[in-house]
Structures are given as C-alpha cells and as structure tokens.
Amino acid sequence: MSGHSAGPIVVDQPLADGSGNSTEIARCRLAQLRSGDGVSVPSAAGPIAIFEVEGEILAVQDTCTHEDASLADGFLDGHVIECPLHGGQFDIRSGLPVCLPAQLPLRRFETRSDGEFVYITT
C-alpha cells in the first residue's frame, strides 16, 4: 500500500504544554489517515510519516535511514514498514530495523489525537 502526502499542514499551531514550552503541533486531520497507508508531513525535525495501525497512531521519521526515500510511500504490513526503494524494513512501534539493508533505527515521535487532529511532539 502506498502513502500520500498530507498536502499543506492543516494546523501548525503550537500548543502550550503548561511550562511555556510549545512542543506539540497538530500535523494532520485524523480523517486523512487510512489504515495501511502513511501520511508524510513536514516538521522542523524533518519529514514525519504518520500511520494508523489497528486504531493506534504511530509516527516515525519519514526518511529511510539506509537511503533517501519516503517511508510514507512504503508498504505497511502490520507494524512493519518496508522502504519502497531497497526493501529495508522497520518496526514502526520501536523504530528498530528488522530487515537489511536497513541498519540504523528510525526516530520515533509521540502522538495523540483529539478525535479531529493528530498531534506530534517533537
């Protein structure tokens, strides 16, 4: 299954975390996520791939650690995303590589949803 870009960020409004630091950003609408597909969104930390798997929203860096390819465009099988370029695989729950040629882990991001938007903490 292939991913898609979320297009323009729906909301890019930092939310105060109570300490005066703004670290949580709404990145896409929950309705943009389809089970099995990834959504790529821009962020100050670099592109982030967001996935919905069995009701859980997971987010990892969108760029494969082996080669410059979008994981949101990869193939998702359960919790394992396969890079569309060379077939490296990662467990998106942990970010750990599970199949060569991928050797370095992905950066993971905390997520939450208010039922309308998906928020990512960077």
HEC string of the chain? Answer: CCCEECCCCCCCCEEECCCCCEEEEEEEEHHHCCCCCEEEECCCCCCEEEEEECCEEEEEECECCCCCCEHHHCEEECCEEECCCCCCEEECCCCCEEECCCCCCCCEEEEEECCCEEEEEC
Do 119 and 24 touch, CB atoms closer than 8 A? yes
Domain of 85? 4-121
CATH number at residue 42: 2.102.10.10
pTM of the model: 0.81
Domain count, the chain: 1
pLDDT tens digits, one per residue of 67-120: 899 999 999 999 999 999 999 999 999 999 999 999 999 999 999 999 899 999
